[in-house]
Amino acid sequence: MQSDTKKRVGILRGGTGGYYKSSLQRGGDVIAHILEKLGDKYKPIDILIDKDYLWHVNGLPVVASDLMHQVDVVWNLTHPSFSNILTSLSIPNIGTSSFASSLENSRDMLREHIKKINLLMPRSIVLPVYQEDFDGPLDKYAIKKAKEVFNKFSSPWIVKSFTPDESMGIHLTQTFGELAQAIQDGVNHNKSILIEEFISGKPAAVHSILGFRGENVYVLLPENSSIEQAGFTTTEKEKIITLAKDLHQHLNAKNYLKTDFILHPRRGFFITNIEFIPDLRMGSHLEKSCESIGAQMHNVVEHILEGAI
């Protein structure tokens, strides 16, 4: 297909705060995927918002209204507020709603919201980024926070960075001393820390896509996956599909949702994580899930793009 007939897909990334770094990576993944797998139909256009809120297209400064003549659709990988700007300019766009983003970034909000459809989450505490002037000496701080966790829910505990951070490991701690030490490790990485009760059971990661293959919400539940390896029964698999569809609709996920479940032998299904942006990296869980049902990851991407244009 000639370049002038390709649909122009703006990839919006950057912004400020915690979205900046993650959106650069995710946006780069989307650009690379479109170039490699869908380059005959779509032309990716890199749109960067720098830390001073200045917009750039392929490195050149622009104002947001200029995009009306440069793109057919924009995939927003940064803060949801930028989608509001695009919508006000009548530019078709893909992105996470402000409400969904709030749920993704607040365990407490998500926990309360999914109670309405009788879903559970592990109990947890989020520790803000440590500030020595405010929080005091690190060793005393770690012990104080470990006591707070200990009094709220029993071991074992999972301790990890609240936001994805490959440099910080995930600690599974059994004792008070291990918990305090893991908190210190999190502080050393200068991150907010998520401490969560460990739920033992059978894990399942499930992708749901709005309108895919003619279904209102299509759930990718491949047989050759962790779901099969975990030994779920047919009834349990059917339950997972139902829960994934219910959650997708309850969260009002626009295009895509990934849900991580754990089935505890006595307490039932728990949700441990949600994501609204597909992982388009080679070898990702989404890629493997698509292949297991006879699809390719770019089929999902094209479906999302065409749904917005």
pLDDT band at 78 (very low <50, low <70, confident <90, very high): very high
Sheet of strand 73-76: strand arrangement: 60-62, 55-57, 42-49, 7-14, 73-76, 93-94
* Mean pLDDT across 69-91: 95
Q: Pick from 169, 163, 238: which is nearest to 206 by CA?
A: 238
Q: Tell me the pairing of strands 73-76 and 93-94.
A: parallel
Complete edge-to-edge strand list for the sheet that includes strand 217-220: 217-220, 202-210, 256-264, 268-275
pTM of the model: 0.90
Distance CA 82, CA 152 (A): 38
User: How far from each other are the two terminal CA atoms of the chain, in whole angstroms?
Assistant: 18
- The H-or-E segment that residue 84 falls in is helix 81-88
Domain ranges of the chain: 3-95, 100-120+200-308, 124-197
Instruction: Examine the pLDDT at 166 and tell me if it is beyond 70.
Output: no
Mean pLDDT score of the chain, rounded to an integer? 92
What is the chain's alpha carbon radius of gyration, rounded to the nearest angstrom? 21
Share of the chain above pLDDT 70, in %: 94
Level-2 CATH architecture, domain 3-95: 3-Layer(aba) Sandwich (3.40)
CATH of domain 124-197: 3.30.1490.20
* Least confidently predicted of 156-160, 203-207, 221-225, 237-241: 221-225
Q: Report which of residues 164 and 140 the model is more confident about.
A: 140
Q: 9-13, 75-79, 159-163, 295-299: which range is least confident on average?
A: 159-163
Rounded average pLDDT over 236-260:
95
How many CB atoms lie under 10 A from the CB of residue 81? 13
**CATH T-level assignment (fold) for domain 100-120+200-308:** D-amino Acid Aminotransferase; Chain A, domain 1 (3.30.470)
| pLDDT value of residue 211 | 97
Which neighbouring-strand residues pair with 55?
A: 49, 62
